[in-house]
């Protein structure tokens, strides 16, 4: 199978940085936006069932939030501009409990950030 994305692990178990393969030339670029079979290979314990769009003005902090009693994994990417996205490990008993990891996502780098459950995501 061809490599359609690079997947990097982070210090927090289950949190991934995903870089899709991009094909570009003088006209622009093409990248695969979504492929259920490919993401099923990467995130085996998560079945994506909902897609949301959030738009924030410059400087807006979306606070660390916890989803209880039904936590969800998140796959975050940017359609316009740039965001610093982070996640805090809130899994009791985890060796990284209380630690956070963040990544800059932008239109230019086209990175995607997957946060597992139970983690608390935030963005700026």
SS3 annotation, 48-93? CCCCCCCCCCCCCCECCCCCCCCCCCEEECCCCCEEEEEEEECCCC
As a whole number of angstroms, the distance between CA 106 and CA 78 comes to 6
pLDDT at 3: 60
The residue-averaged pLDDT of 78-89 equals: 91
Q: How confident is the model at residue 1 (pLDDT cuts 50, 70, 90)?
A: very low
pLDDT at 124: 79
DSSP state of 96: T
Q: Do the beta carbons of residue 113 and residue 76 sit within 8 Å?
A: yes
Percent of the chain residues past pLDDT 90, beyond the cut: 31
Give the other-Cβ count within 10 Å of 40's Cβ: 12
Chain segment 2-39, per-residue pLDDT in tens: 568 889 999 999 899 999 888 889 999 888 877 777 77
Indicate if the pLDDT at residue 96 is higher than 90: yes
pTM over 0.95: no
Q: Do the beta carbons of residue 88 and residue 100 sit within 8 Å?
A: yes
What is the sign of the dihedral through the CA atoms of 14, 8, 32 and 83?
positive
Give the other-Cβ count within 10 Å of 12's Cβ: 21
pLDDT at 103: 96
CATH assignment of 5-123, given 2.40.30.10, 2.60.120.10, 1.10.10.10, 2.40.110.10? 2.60.120.10
pLDDT at 2: 56
Low-confidence winner among 43-47, 72-76, 91-95 (lowest mean pLDDT): 43-47
Average pLDDT of the chain, as a whole number: 85
Q: Is the peptide bond before 69 cis (omega within 30 degrees of 0)?
A: yes
């Amino acid at each position: 199978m061809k490599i359609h994305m690079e997947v990097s692990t982070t210090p927090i178990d289950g949190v991934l940085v995903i870089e899709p393969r991009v094909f570009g030339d003088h006209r622009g670029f093409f990248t695969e936006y979504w492929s259920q079979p490919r993401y099923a290979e990467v995130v085996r314990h998560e079945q994506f069932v909902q897609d949301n769009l959030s738009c924030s003005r410059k400087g807006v902090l979306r606070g660390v939030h916890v989803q209880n009693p039904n936590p969800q994994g998140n796959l975050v990417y940017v359609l316009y501009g740039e965001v610093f996205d982070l996640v805090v490990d809130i899994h009791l008993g985890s060796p990284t409990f209380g630690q956070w990891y963040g990544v800059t996502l932008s239109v230019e780098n086209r990175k995607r950030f997957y946060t597992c459950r139970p983690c608390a995501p935030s963005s700026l």
